[in-house]
């Protein structure tokens, strides 16, 4: 596999897919309150995708060695790191949940993003984890420009996260995305500055750090998908899909309901098209 560079038509396709992926999160947000089940979130997400003329990239998704993924979205609660399968258990006050939405447009372009949701009032530790993970994602995004290296992205995230006494999950990473869900390059959320793939305008990839309060170790559950922290500590994740532009980056998965961009983001080229 090699890294695909998107031309103008590809960029237009990616902008559309990613905007819709973000709008799906906007539309489900008011419903994510105590008592809702993650299966309800799954159904609401699927309905929103259909209203926008898109479909889920995750349902039936089956990489080699995996069973087909059953959900229209991933819903990862508390100590679940990623790939949580929607279930009929209600969310309760104090839970944190990541909802990860990936859509495919009629033209075959993929848009991938996730956000954290706090159910009612959550602990100070949980709120801090979600906020620091959000900032970590944006610090990684801020490294993106032609000539930068993927190691710069990983390093920015790792340094910040570990500096706050949290840990970076190593087994899962961001990824190139386009007319395939997961393509090259792998975008690690740790690394050394000046190493790794050099970024070129027209690349599109995700940045999606998974951050644990406790140790970084994970384990897979018997369902073949759900990943949890080995020490059962809380885990958070945020995800955007970004485009490398001639002068920096454009975050493609932004919409009216996206949480405010952190103050430290000076704003290179992430305005809406
Ligand atoms: N959306 C996830 C990602 O960010 C992948 C989910 S694959 C699934 O890459 F099969 F678990 F849905
Ligand atoms: Co992704
Ligand atoms: Co995702």
Among residues 82, 95, 115, the alpha carbon closest in space to that of 37 is found at: 95
Q: What is the pLDDT of residues 205-260, one digit of tens each?
A: 999 999 999 999 999 999 999 999 999 999 999 999 999 999 999 999 999 999 99
Rounded Cα distance, 161 and 174, in Å: 16
Mutating to test ligand 1, I would choose from 22, 24, 68, 82 the residue with most ligand atoms within 8 A of its C-beta, which is: 82
User: What is the atom index within ligand 1 of the atom nearest the CA of 71?
Assistant: 12
Q: For the chain, give the mean pLDDT.
A: 97
Is residue 2 assigned to a domain?
Answer: no
pLDDT in tens, 239-254: 999 999 999 999 999 9
Pocket test of ligand 1: the residue of 17, 21, 74, 220 to mutate, having most ligand atoms within 8 Å of its CB, is 74
Residue 31 pLDDT greater than 80, yes or no: yes
Residue 73 Cα: closest atom of ligand 1: 12
- Rounded Cα gap, residues 132 and 168, in angstroms: 12
Question: 3-state DSSP call for residue 207?
Answer: strand
The minimum-distance atom of ligand 1 relative to the CA of 100 is 1
Tell me the pTM: 0.97
pLDDT at 35: 98
Q: Are 157 and 182 in contact (CB under 8 A)?
A: no
CA 104 to the chain's CA centroid: 15
Number of domains in the chain: 1
Ligand 1 environment, Cβ below 6 A: 58, 61, 69, 74, 83, 100, 102, 112, 206, 208, 225, 239
Give me the pLDDT at residue 218, please: 98
- pLDDT of 167: 99
What's the confidence (pLDDT) of residue 273? 41
Q: How many residues does the chain have?
A: 273
Q: Give residue 1's pLDDT band: very low, low, confident or very high (50, 70, 90).
A: confident
pLDDT digits (tens, 9 = 90+) for 83-111: 999 999 999 999 999 999 999 999 999 99
* Domain assignment present for 224: yes
Atom of ligand 1 nearest to the CA of 182: 9
Tokens of 212: 């644990």
Nearest CA to ligand 1 atom 12: 58
155, containing H or E segment: helix 150-163
* Nearest Cα residue to 6 out of 114, 112, 100, 110: 110
Q: Which domain holds residue 141?
A: 8-270
Q: How far apart are CA 249 and CA 201, in angstroms?
A: 9
Domain annotation covers residue 1: no
What does the DSSP 8-state code read for residue 104? E
Q: What is the pLDDT of residue 269?
A: 52
Instruction: Give CA separation, 233 vs 61, 129, 136, 166, 211, in Å.
Output: 28, 11, 19, 11, 10
Q: Is the pLDDT higher at 268 or at 30?
A: 30
Whether 267 shows a pLDDT value over 90: the answer reads no
Domain-embedded: residue 180:
yes
CA of 99 to the centre of ligand 2 (A): 12
CATH number at residue 40: 3.90.230.10
How far apart CA 135 and CA 128 sit, in angstroms, is: 11
What pLDDT, on a 0 to 100 scale, did the predictor assign at position 272?
Answer: 43
- Structural domain contains residue 105: yes
Q: State how far the Cα of 41 lies from the Cα of 74, in Å rounded to an integer.
A: 9
Say if 183 falls within a structural domain: yes
Q: Let me know if residue 53 belongs to a domain.
A: yes
Whether residue 3 is contained in a domain is answered as no
């Amino acid at each position: 596999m090699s890294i695909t560079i998107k031309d103008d038509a590809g960029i237009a396709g990616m902008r559309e897919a990613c905007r819709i992926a973000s709008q799906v999160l906007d539309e489900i947000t008011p419903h994510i309150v105590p008592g809702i089940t993650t299966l309800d979130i799954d159904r609401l997400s699927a309905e929103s995708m259909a209203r926008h003329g898109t479909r889920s990239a995750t349902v039936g998704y089956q990489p080699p060695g995996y069973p087909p993924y059953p959900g229209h979205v991933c819903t990862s609660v508390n100590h679940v790191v990623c790939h949580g399968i929607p279930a009929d258990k209600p969310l309760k006050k104090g839970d944190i949940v990541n909802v990860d939405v990936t859509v495919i447009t009629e033209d075959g372009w993929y848009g991938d993003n996730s956000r954290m949701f706090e159910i009612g009032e959550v602990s100070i530790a949980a709120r801090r984890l979600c906020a620091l993970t959000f900032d970590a994602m944006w610090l990684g995004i801020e490294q993106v420009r032609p000539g930068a290296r993927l190691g710069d992205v990983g390093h920015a995230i790792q340094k910040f996260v570990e500096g706050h006494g949290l840990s970076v999950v190593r087994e899962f990473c961001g990824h190139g995305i386009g007319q395939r869900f997961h393509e090259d390059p792998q975008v690690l959320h740790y690394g050394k500055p000046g190493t790794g793939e050099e970024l070129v305008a027209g690349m599109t990839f995700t940045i999606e750090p998974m951050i644990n309060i406790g140790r970084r170790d994970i384990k897979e559950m018997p369902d073949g998908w759900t990943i949890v922290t080995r020490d059962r500590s809380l885990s958070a994740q945020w995800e955007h899909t970004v485009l490398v532009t001639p002068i920096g980056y454009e975050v493609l998965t932004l919409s009216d309901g996206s949480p405010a961009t952190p103050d430290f983001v000076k704003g290179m080229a992430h305005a809406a098209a």
